[in-house]
């Protein structure tokens, strides 16, 4: 089974920057590892997310329980 980070399916995801960290609108200085690796489900706002939360790129795709990648 292949499991991807919730961030890769999010409308707010920006990508990787020069320092090899992943960024999004919620975390412009770098997505916390626990969020990126699905240890924290970001479908609800959490501290420090600048008011952004997970928004699926494809609204018709159901979101399943997050399975931690690490």
- In this predicted model, what pLDDT tens digit does every residue of 13-58 receive, in sequence order? 999 987 889 999 999 999 999 999 999 999 999 999 999 999 999 8
7 vs 20, which has greater pLDDT?
7
Q: What is the pTM of this model?
A: 0.78
For residue 22, list its beta bridge partners: 16
Task: Note whether 3 and 69 are within 8 A (CB).
Answer: yes
Domain holding 16, by residue range, is 1-70
> Distance between CA atoms of 1 and 27, rounded to whole angstroms?
28
Q: Read off the pLDDT band of 4 (50, 70, 90).
A: confident
Joined tokens for residue 20: 């090899």
Mean pLDDT of 57-66: 61
Question: What per-residue confidence (pLDDT) applies to 56?
Answer: 93
Token pair 């969020």 is found at: 35
Mean pLDDT of 2-12: 89
Task: Note whether 25 and 50 are within 8 A (CB).
Answer: yes
Q: How many structural domains is the chain composed of? A: 1
């Amino acid at each position: 089974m292949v499991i991807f980070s919730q961030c890769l399916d999010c409308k707010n995801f920006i990508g990787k920057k020069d320092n090899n960290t992943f960024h999004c609108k919620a975390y412009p200085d770098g997505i916390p590892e626990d969020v990126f690796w699905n240890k924290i489900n970001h479908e609800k706002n959490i501290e420090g997310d600048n008011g952004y939360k997970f928004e699926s790129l494809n609204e018709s795709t159901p979101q399943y329980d997050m399975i931690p990648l690490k």
